[in-house]
Amino acid sequence: MPRPSSILAGMSAPSPHPFPTRIIQAVGTFVLRPLVLFVFRVRVRRSWRRHEGACVYAANHRSFFDPPFVGMWVRDPLSYFARADLWNNVFFRFLLGMMHGIPVNREHPGMSSMKGAVDRLRHGISVLVFPEGTRTRTGRVGTMRDGPALFARRAGVPVIPVYVHRTELCWPRGAILPRLSGGRIEIRFGSPLIAPAHLAPRLQDAWVTRRLSRWMQVQERDLFRG
């Protein structure tokens, strides 16, 4: 398996708006988004106006659908984490390159992946992170880790909470193919989280993670009650 550090070393400095990336964004906005709205009845809610500039989108993780479904409603360039071994495949290497992919060794995540995320944020490219670390098995939000807060603090950008609801019914964990039914999907974007500057670095991370977790719990109670 290639090391994330060697993959990142072979990449050129990220540019927020290369031509291939604009093509992918256009396809997602004008082709895939209407299709997803029709087939899966996606509803998107924002408690804040669209954020201008790079940020860390921190979302709960229910399904393989989560990355593209969140990405379709993010206007600016968005970077994703992906398994390092996917770069062995020519097609995925090309696709992940256009999508500002960040290689990560899931068994032994290291500093190179964190540096890759911070580097993209500093170049104006937002990053999508799933702070639970894996897809839920229960349908409920799990423990939030400090990763999003750490990336955001080091790059000097905010964390935007994202709650994804019911995508696991459209592509359940363990299923080979998605289903075309499962009820209405809802995606909620919260307000930017920025820790008070007077706090020590670790306390800033804890401050953001604690508020991220509380926000997720509020959305979960609201949607499951409804």
pLDDT tens, 54-81?
999 999 999 988 988 999 899 888 998 8
Residue 9 lies in a domain: no
In which domain, by residue range, is 178 found?
A: 15-225
Sign of CA dihedral 208, 51, 114, 144: positive
Residue 129 lies in a domain: yes
Residue 197 lies in a domain: yes
**In this structure, are residues 85 and 1 in contact, taking their beta carbons and an 8 Å threshold?**
yes
Interatomic CA distance for residues 99 and 107, integer angstroms: 23
CATH of the domain at 82: 3.40.1130.10
DSSP per position, the chain: ---HHHHHHTSPPP-SS-HHHHHHHHHIIIIIHHHHHHHH--EEEESSPPPPS--EEEE---STTHHHHHHTT--S-EE-EEEGGGGGSHHHHHHHHHTT-EEE-SSS--HHHHHHHHHHHHTT-EEEE-TTSS--SSSS--PPPSHHHHHHHHHT--EEEEEEESHHHHS-TT-SS--S-SS--EEEE---B---TTS-HHHHHHHHHHHHHHHHHHHHHHHHH-
- The whole-number pLDDT of residue 19 equals 64
- The whole-number pLDDT of residue 216 equals 97
- The whole-number pLDDT of residue 105 equals 78
- The whole-number pLDDT of residue 27 equals 79
Residue 10 lies in a domain: no
- The whole-number pLDDT of residue 1 equals 54
- The whole-number pLDDT of residue 210 equals 98
- The whole-number pLDDT of residue 31 equals 84
User: Which segments of the chain have a pLDDT < 70?
Assistant: 1-20, 106-110, 181-182, 226
Residue 110 lies in a domain: yes
Residue 7 lies in a domain: no
- The whole-number pLDDT of residue 52 equals 82
- The whole-number pLDDT of residue 103 equals 87
How many structural domains does the chain have? 1
Residue 3 lies in a domain: no
Residue 8 lies in a domain: no
